[in-house]
Amino acid sequence: MVAITAPSPIDQIPLMRCPKANAAQQGAVIPCVDLSAPGAAAAVADACRSVGFFKATNHGVPACITDALEARAMEFFALPTQVKLDMSGAARPLGYGSKNIGSNGDVGWLEYLLLSISSNTVKISSLPPPLRTALEEYTAAVREVGGRVLELIAEGLGLEDRALLRAMVMGREGSDELVRVNHYPPCPLPAPGDCGVTGFGEHTDPQIISVLRSNCTAGLQIKLRDGGWAPVPPDPESFFVNVGDSLQVLTNGRFRSVKHRVVAPEGAQPRLSVIYFGGPAPSQRIAPLPQVMRDGEQSLYTEFTWGEYKRAAYKTRLADHRLGPFELRSNRMPAPPSEQPASGTDPQPHCSSTSTSSTCTSTTTAAAGGSGVLPCHAMPV
């Protein structure tokens, strides 16, 4: 989760470019866990330890719930920009926004809704009733998936209290749970070389876990330990789970949060994704769980509260190593190769182009229920 500031006009979106996934990573395997299988806890723990990301199947959420939200969300995003702003308010950070990701200069080709969850209720009363109902039904279902995953994580870690992590997110008043709906309109801009247009720049999620579901349009990529980017094939019938920064700390680095990003759609179809972020109450202490620490093992992190970490995260750029200031340097784990840029190089290289500004237009699909044209303007970087 990253907060996004008040939106700029969606018809004036400056675009960044980023390298596409390496060809060698096209066949990379994304861990897949059957949540109903007897060995699910061990499989979840192995995926969180090795990749920090996995696909969850047999999750129990009916397709009618996910399909309804997808349809209602596409109808909302097809509305004129001012109507969307009037309905939900400009994102500060909750509400409707576009283009600007945070207040520190990150941008992407997307628009979105970011909403808070309280007792399974989405706190945006002015949204169209069909969308609000679809969001409430979806969030109730995805919270249950998230809770089950947290129980499996606890079991996989060998914790006696299987409900410990679930209670951090769902068992306390004031838990910081969010749902985000991202819409990436197609933008058929010719990208130079082995490049793609940035939809959402690389980042980790600061919460304990996040649970994502998307439509059939690709774009999500995860960063592997060797520094390569692996595309995640979309699967609308499954959910995808990210280890968050807070879970990395709670496990003292046994599970590591995974950097991920979205490349804007290159074809005619938009990408729509819905992400549930499981965060604890602001006063929740975040530190390695005593139950996972071996005799003599030193903590890799200084203790902090979720509120402190969230405030710090909002001040960073997307690709920043947010946990850095909270690492105990004397005990610090060596960074993986992907986080050790060579001397004198840009740790976040962008594709370069000798061409001048170019434009492209994209039309929302008929399924979105609208005919608005969203022009985008790409600027060389």
Range with the largest mean pLDDT of 50-54, 117-121, 126-130, 189-193: 50-54
**pLDDT at site 174:** 83
| 187-210 tens-digit pLDDT | 767 666 667 888 998 999 999 999
CA angle 274, 275, 280 (to 5 degrees): 150
Spatial CB neighbours of 308, under 8 Å, sequence gap ≥ 6: none
Domain map (residue ranges) of the chain: 15-338
Q: How confident is the model at residue 171 (pLDDT cuts 50, 70, 90)?
A: confident
**pLDDT at site 363:** 33
Rounded distance between C-alpha atoms, residue 95 and residue 92, angstroms: 7
As a three-state string, the secondary structure of 103-133 is CCCEEEEEEEEEEEEECCEECCCCCCHHHHH
Q: How confident is the model at residue 20 (pLDDT cuts 50, 70, 90)?
A: low
| 58-109 tens-digit pLDDT | 999 999 999 999 999 999 999 999 999 888 877 777 888 887 777 777 888 8
Give the pLDDT mean for 309-334: 85
pLDDT higher than threshold 70 for residue 378: no
* Sheet order of strands, 260-263 included: 17-19, 195-203, 260-263, 220-223, 229-231
Other beta carbons less than 10 A from residue 81's beta carbon = 17
Rounded distance between C-alpha atoms, residue 33 and residue 149, angstroms: 10
- Look at the domain 15-338 and name its fold: Jelly Rolls (2.60.120)
Instruction: Give me 161's structure tokens.
Output: 């209290």
Spatial CB neighbours of 160, under 8 Å, sequence gap ≥ 6: 291
**pLDDT at site 19:** 58
Assign 146 to helix, strand or coil.
helix
Taking 3-state DSSP, the helix, strand and coil percentages for the chain, each rounded to the nearest 5, stand at: 25, 25, 50
Q: What is the mean pLDDT of the chain?
A: 82
Give the pLDDT mean for 143-149: 97
CA-to-CA dists, residue 18 to 101, 184, 309, 350, angstroms: 16, 16, 28, 5
Tokens 């009733």 found at: 129
Radius of gyration for the alpha carbons in the chain, expressed in angstroms and rounded = 20
| 300-319 tens-digit pLDDT | 999 999 999 999 998 999 88
